[in-house]
Chain A
């Protein structure tokens, strides 16, 4: 294998390396709905798989749910299965305020976010006493009870009871939004445009894309806030608690407060995800936010990458599209047709969970980073000086560490730094959490 290319930090090559992928991602994210609107189906063998705007919007909503869970489980180490509960709370509050009180979708966040934050903190209180599997079981109870709560007689006027609640407000694209124009521009791209984007977009597609753009904006904001949180001092406290609770406490982290606030923050993202679900689907029903979703979120988290933020994007896509595509696969050579009917989607998700745990324990994001490390690696400038650079070179980029080493790296959050030996295990470059905190910008915690 040839030597990977080395890029020195701070050079223009590093800037290209750092920002071009983001630009490509942004471009893909913005053009994806136009593509989905024109090419909602493609053929694989004899089966037709769909990539529709509706599924895409659904997936964007779930990304934020997975993100919320990822903060709690991946960064804070509190295994919770209860985030579907908060998604339900968010979804139902939005549905009720929009339908019964005539609020706009986004303004319901004024209620949803604080309510979920506070309820999340309350739920987080018992988590101070119970850990690991016990906490998982307790929060699973929360997920299980949600459908029964919304079916309660007393809430029926608000929740629509067992029949679910249709949200009677359409998110129509405003006139000033140049969605049709963007569609026309994309179709006029030579060769590719006609094939991928057809004649441009119209009618319901425009509204669907508008919803997508709103959702993408919300998701972008959520990821941005989450990233800043994780990179901040409270973020380091959150991670320190995951890695070594006693060590964190010794170093002055207020463990109960940080844990409870993390629970609240995670629940708030869950609530946001629920609101986004309501915007994407326009309908909420009790069983949507039940145990199934709780488990799907965990699957999304593990498949995307525990302890990474970008894993949530992949996780959201996986938990929406795998079941859809699995149900659309009609023939696989050598497999009897009756095996392709029934719960193949959940089966595939289960298989993914097992396979990834064994072969790619950090999830898909970890695998992608490992591949990237074979070709490119970022090295610090030669004149190493001060704590920050030391920290960056020592901090390991891979999200796989947590599961591989049990404890994990203190700083598996830096997308830009790849461990120099390219193996992804970071054995020689790990820093212990406590020392990481000490070296960081010289601020004692």
Chain B
């Protein structure tokens, strides 16, 4: 009797799911309608193109940049392009890991705040950066964002960390017409303004960086050079891996390591057995110095090429000096240790004023990010209509500025679908350990700055 009761329960459950399947049709219809709407919007785009320069409009269909169109009628009915702004404050929001496996990046918001606190106000407004911890868990990123949309709607979201985390919120922010600026991940698909005009990436694409590695290997080291590679087994490392597998180099050994593993010694042993000429370290955080130290201790002497996420000298090289000697990094910004550079010094002063150690990578990177945000906000504030979300996105998709902490000669440019990537300049630098009596090592430039600005287009074409 009991058994039959259980079966009855299953039967009810199955029936419920069938009902649900029927309900599913509703969803399909919804999607169909949305599609039609989208098509209609697309159709209207061509007509609206002339009106692209419609100075200051924040309603209806607006062309932000080439192939990049928003329609504020798709925004929520209570959408306010100036939400998150007061007369003297701009509220920005970021969700980032302050706990969990990549908690080391949790200082970015402090670095950004340090810069915002001492920069000149934008149109009389200071920046209030609100941050929340998500422990690198996309579910918590999403709930953080939902919370802040309900309670205290910010003007824009900035520099959130993690590809899964940003993917989890992209649709929601698009629906809310909320700028999702400069995702702090090099995932190539962020450059898709035709489909996602409210979202843009903020780092050199991992694919672009890996492409630069390949070019360097074939041009500077030799076409037959054997290559071994270590990749972190997550969204970040696998983006490198994908590009490296596709490019035209002689890859003889490739190993993935668990992001949560305590060290990478055994992976390095495997790679060392290949005795390759070059090793690519597509990883970040603690595995960077661990891998460099393990290679230096072995009898294997390859040319090491390191991910630029481990560029910080004080964080990643100092603990293992001189094991990092000769390591190459495709740098995208000036290093915190360049003490003769006035902009670097200004950044260091800002951090020191906020009681933050300027040599700690995440804080300094926060200042670099802070400059980018400041630049687009200033550009938007100067447009007709002043600071609002539409102008902000115009500034983002038509960016043309230099980041003071970016590479000398590098530019931050975008142009809608023609150029959807902000950071596209890099330069190989070689690590030189500190001489006798010096505290920190330094980088010396190798070759010229490589600027592929404008060559990469966008995901959509």
- Please report A residues at the B interface, Cβ cutoff 8 Å: 37, 40-41, 48, 50, 52-55, 58, 102-107, 109-110, 113, 147-148, 151, 161-164, 166, 168-172, 174, 203-204, 221, 224-225, 228-229, 232-234, 277, 281-283, 285-288, 290-292, 323-324, 327-328, 341-346
| Contacting pair A40 B13 (CB below 8 A) | no
Q: Which of B98-106, B208-216, B297-305 contacts A (4 or more CB under 8 A)?
A: B98-106
Interface size class of B (residues with CB under 8 A): 35 or more
User: B187 near A163 (CB under 8 angstroms)?
Assistant: yes
B168 at the interface (CB under 8 A from A): yes
Complex partner residue of B106 from A40, A52, A229, A342, CB under 8 angstroms: A342
Q: Are A228 and B6 in contact (CB under 8 A)?
A: yes
What's the Cα separation between A50 and B146 when bound, in Å?
10
Question: Is the CB of B135 closer than 8 A to any CB of chain A?
Answer: yes
- CB of B5 within 8 A of CB of A285, answer no
Question: With a CB–CB cut-off of 8 A, which chain B residues contact A148?
Answer: 233, 258
Q: Give A293 Cβ to nearest chain B Cβ, in Å.
A: 9
B445 close to chain A: CB less than 8 A: no
Enumerate B1-51 residues with CB–CB distance to A below 8 Å: 2, 5-6, 9, 12-14, 16-21, 23-24, 26-28, 30-31
Say if the beta carbon of B267 comes within 8 Å of chain A: no
- The count of A-to-B residue pairs whose CB atoms sit within 8 angstroms is 170
Tell me whether A327 and B234 are in contact (CB under 8 A). no
Residue B409 at the chain A interface, CB threshold 8 Å: no
Cα–Cα distance between A374 and B14 once the two chains are bound (Å) = 43
Q: Which residues of B lie under 8 Å from residue A164 when comparing CB positions? A: 138, 163-164, 167-168, 235
Are A283 and B167 in contact, with the CB atoms below 8 A?
Answer: yes
Q: Is B139 an interface residue (CB 8 A)?
A: yes
* B16-A172 in contact (CB<8A): no
**0/1 string, B155-170, CB within 8 A of A gives 1:** 0000000011001101
Contact A234 B234 (CB under 8 A): no
Verify if B143 is at the interface (C-beta below 8 Å from A).
yes
Contact A58 B139, beta carbon cutoff 8 Å: yes
Q: B140 in the interface, Cβ–Cβ < 8 Å?
A: yes
**Which residues in A have their C-beta under 8 angstroms from that of B137?**
287-288
Asked whether, in the complex, the Cβ of B26 is within 8 Å of the Cβ of A221, the reply is no
Select A41's contact among B5, B151, B260, beta carbons within 8 Å. B151
**Cα A147 to Cα B233 with chains together (Å):** 9
Establish whether residues A103 and B99, one from each chain, have CB atoms under 8 Å apart when the complex forms: no
List of B residues within 8 angstroms of A288 by Cβ: 137-139
Given contacts A163-B164, A328-B132, A342-B106, contact A283 B9 (CB under 8 A): no
Closest residue of A by beta carbon distance from B136: A287
Complex Cα distance, B20 from A103, in Å, reads 10
* Contact indicator A342/B103 (Cβ below 8 Å): yes
Which of chain A's residues has its CB closest to B138's CB?
Answer: A285
**Would you mind naming 25 contact pairs between A and B with Cβ atoms under 8 Å apart?**
A52-B147, A54-B143, A54-B146, A105-B24, A107-B17, A162-B163, A162-B237, A170-B27, A172-B30, A225-B6, A229-B6, A232-B6, A283-B142, A283-B167, A283-B168, A287-B101, A287-B137, A287-B164, A287-B234, A287-B259, A288-B139, A291-B260, A292-B100, A323-B99, A344-B99
Give A58 to B138 CA distance when docked, in angstroms.
12
Q: In angstroms, how far is the closest chain B Cβ from the Cβ of A101? A: 11
Query: Is A343 a contact partner of B99 (Cβ separation < 8 A)?
Result: yes
Which residue on chain B has the smallest CB distance to residue A221?
A: B13
Residue in B18, B77, B135 whose beta carbon sits within 8 Å of that of A345 in the complex: B135
For residue B66, CB closer than 8 A to chain A, the reply is no
| B124 part of interface (Cβ distance < 8 Å) | no
Partner among A104, A228, A232 whose Cβ is within 8 Å of the Cβ of B20 = A104
Among residues of B, the one whose C-beta sits closest to the C-beta of A172 is B30
Q: In whole angstroms, how far apart are the Cα atoms of A290 and B234 in the complex? A: 12
- Distance in angstroms from A91 CB to nearest chain B CB is 11
Closest Cβ of chain A: how far from B172's Cβ, in Å? 8
Nearest CB in chain A to that of B187: its residue:
A163
Known contacts: A163-B235, A344-B99, A345-B135. The answer to whether A50 contacts B142 by CB under 8 A is: no
A151 and B138 in contact (CB under 8 A), knowing A53-B146, A54-B147, A291-B260? Answer: no
B424 to chain A, nearest CB (A): 21
The 5 closest A-B CB pairs, nearest first, are: A104-B24, A106-B20, A343-B99, A327-B133, A164-B164
CB–CB B187/A346 < 8 A: no
Which residue of the partner chain B has the closest CB to A217?
Answer: B16
Alpha-carbon separation in the docked complex, A288 to B164 (Å): 10
Nearest B-chain residue to A108, judged by Cβ: B17
Query: Could you tell me if B17 and A110 are in contact, using CB atoms closer than 8 angstroms?
Result: yes
Q: Who on chain A is nearest to B76 by CB?
A: A203
Per-position 1/0 for B82-116, Cβ under 8 A of A: 00000000000000001111010010000000000
With an 8 A cutoff between CB atoms, is B80 at the interface? no
Contact A162 B234 (CB under 8 A): yes
Q: Which of A55, A107, A229 has the most CB of B within 10 A?
A: A107
Q: How far is the CA of A110 from the CA of B260 in the complex (A)?
A: 34
A290–B137 Cα distance when bound, in Å, is: 11
CB distance from B182 to the nearest CB of A (A): 18
Chain A positions within 8 Å of B171 at CB level: 166, 168
Q: B150 an interface residue at 8 Å Cβ cutoff? A: yes
Complex Cα–Cα for A293 and B234 (A):
17
Given contacts A52-B147, A53-B146, A102-B28, contact A343 B17 (CB under 8 A): no
Q: How far is the CB of B25 from chain A (nearest CB, A)?
A: 8
* Candidates B12, B17, B26, B133; contact of A109 at CB < 8 Å: B17
Docked complex Cα distance between A48 and B152 (Å): 11
Find the B residue at minimum CB distance from A290.
B260
Known contacts A40-B147, A163-B164, A163-B167: A283-B140 contact under CB 8 Å:
no
- B314 close to A (CB within 8 Å): no
Give every chain A residue within 8 A of B20 (Cβ-Cβ). Answer: 104-107
Distance in Å from the Cβ of A41 to the closest Cβ of chain B?
5
